[in-house]
Amino acid sequence: MTSAADLMDDAEQGVASPEAAEHYINRELSWLAFNERVLAEARNTDYPLLERLRFLSISGSNLDEFMMIRVAGLVGQVQRGIDRLSIDGRSPSQQLTAIRDSVQSISDEQQSSWAELRDMLAEADIEIADGKRVDARTHIALKSYFLEEIAPVITPQVVDTAHPFPFVSNEGLGVLFNLTRESDGESIIEMILIPSALPRFVRVPGDPAVYISIESLIARFAHHLFPGFTIEGDGAFRVLRDSDIEIEEEAEDLVRTFRSAIQRRRRGQVIQLELDGDFDPVCEELLREQLAMQGATILKTDGLIGITGLADVVAEDRPDLKFPSYTPRYPERVLEHDGDCFSAIREKDLIIHHPYESFEVVVDFLRQAAADPDVVAIKQTLYRAGNQSPVIAALIAAAENGKSVTAVVELKARFDEEQNLLWASQLERAGVQVIYGFVDMKTHAKVSMVVRREEQGMRTYCHFGTGNYHPINAKIYTDLSFFTADPKFGRDAAKLFNFVTGYVEPRRLETLAISPIDLREALYANIDREIENAGNGRPAAIWAKLNSLTDKGVIDRLYAASQAGVEVQLVVRGISCLRAGIPGLSENIRVKSIIGRFLEHTRIWAFANGYRLPSERAKVFIASADAMSRNLNRRVEVLVPIRNRTVHDQILQQVLLANLLDTEQSWEQHPDGTYKRFDSGEKPFNCHRYFMTNSSLSGRGDALEAGDVPKLVLQQDND
């Protein structure tokens, strides 16, 4: 069940005004528009074939999660009679109607893209054998694999009055068979639920590559499972269920509550049922009767169900059909200090740009802390750490080496709850003090602090990130890691941890803004300052890079800035409820989205602060938070000011500016909420390619001075 707090994401924005639909874009429809941009990359002929297939698979995975979380939440609202309006003035039922139309359109486009890519794969010697005749060698190999590897694992189940319809778990895949017993002509329906441990696509050994989906393989050789029966028809299906977790504020034992909630999630209400286009009518009637509950979406397709499963084919070892391999560079500054992270950070603040610069430096920071006899304590937030985490290993090693180690493990990280429970257990066994934070708020801040005994006394080294401590994601997500030994940051980081571990609300913070305490107010104050500067005739501009922009308060502040004459340029990868370019409301606001090889994840805010040349005194911040109500009201987040001049310019004049200048991977938002791909023009610019070829922030100053990327200048003050 979707949590009550998340259900109010839009409702808490306030009562919708009559002009709501004209001023704001629906959150759910904006997300679907984002997924359409992801899906469009499956048709991008500039990409290698398997990379196009990867984008198709990602669009399927994205849509699954959207259905399991967001649509499930709206269905729950309708069923419980909750009629709060969204930011654009729609009721839950109105949103569901619009969503289902859009989901059907996306599904149709996914299948069209799949049909096109499937033919292209065949031309590239990667054959998908679903529903196709195969040569004798392939047939023998498939039959052998089925009989030896699949048949012993699967279990046919008869469905009749004596055998109730079996439970189908979330993301469950199965096949129904309509059989006739040859001895007496009796009709029987059998079901095979496909275990999740089996591969989604089976590859036949040899070259060229031949794949077949697991459901097609079972259907092809089902006669071996049902001797003495005639197969009259069959059909494959897939089920998605409500997958959010609701935790009551009075939960006495958070760990036990989450273990129970994870089990309940697997049995949530059916939200979507996917069916083969040629499903046997008798079997389909039974399936709809058993699973098509009120509010469920039914998708019937002649193509492939479970598009996300194509990730198995993407894994094919064909470097010629993928992006050229890329190896992140280790930060030059740290290498100059012979790999000593603490020495490099002591010299001056350091910014690392992932994935262009290696996340290994973050791991090394913790590994060195674990082994350093002068390190006294380590404190670490953990939201998502991955299945095999060197970060966890470093914290365990530190505890075993006698350090005082505190880990804030967020159990409410969606779909990572079970893994985080496992990490928490391992950390506790090693002697780490594990804290689970607030019951009603997620700890989403990305902070690590190391306290080290030095000649001058105790010194605190801090790492603040825009992304999770997840080494795998760090290879494909763009994020920033900021290291500092500034005592002000150290004192504030300590207060942040005391807030999470002991509920001691921080006072008199020197650097950080923390939600839900004062992060919103800090953003408002900086936006208001730009409005004031514009009113006084001084240069005024706001630049931001975010994943999502849905909070009505922030949007209204940006509208006020636009109306005051402030130039506002926003790079918002995913959801944007703001309508850009509307005369009298937002004509000075530009919104773009970048979809490319890497997933844009960095959060940056920059404010001109009255200066035409932003490098002079613009205010620059990095953040763990997006501009969403949940981030500003119901999560522990940090907004980190960047005061070191070098780091300030690297973020502003390199990272942020390159994103603003990108044309090859960018989409521009129009006032009606639709997006159009940029025209690359005579001088196309690809920010991902730029950073891959200039992959060290500390080594890129010469490129900027040479004019490869123009510096950020406020145009309205040029004369």
SS3 484: strand
Three-state SS string over 23-60 comes to: HECCHHHHHHHHHHHHHHHHHCCCCCHHHHHHHHHHHH
Q: Where are the alpha helices (DSSP H) in 232-386?
A: 254-265, 281-291, 311-314, 332-336, 341-347, 360-371
SS3 15: coil
Query: CA-CA distance, 329 to 331, in Å (whole number)?
Result: 6
Please state the separation of Cα 353 from the chain's center in Å. Answer: 18
CB 547 within 8 A of CB 694: no
* Burial of 651: CB neighbours in 10 Å, binned 0-12, 13-18, 19+: buried
The secondary element (H helix, E strand) that includes residue 299 is strand 297-301
- Residue 257's contacts (CB-CB under 8 Å, 6 or more residues apart) are 247, 248, 251
The number of residues in the chain equals 719
Strand partners, 24: 578
Q: What are the catalytic residues?
A: 444
Helix orientation angle between 552-563 and 519-535, rounded to the nearest 10 degrees: 10
Query: CA-CA distance, 106 to 593, in Å (whole number)?
Result: 19
List Cα–Cα distances, 419 to 196, 253, 416, 425, 454, in angstroms. 17, 18, 5, 10, 37
- Long-range pairs of 101-105 with CB within 8 A, sequence gap ≥ 24: 102/29, 102/32, 103/32, 103/63, 103/67, 103/71, 103/297, 103/299, 104/299
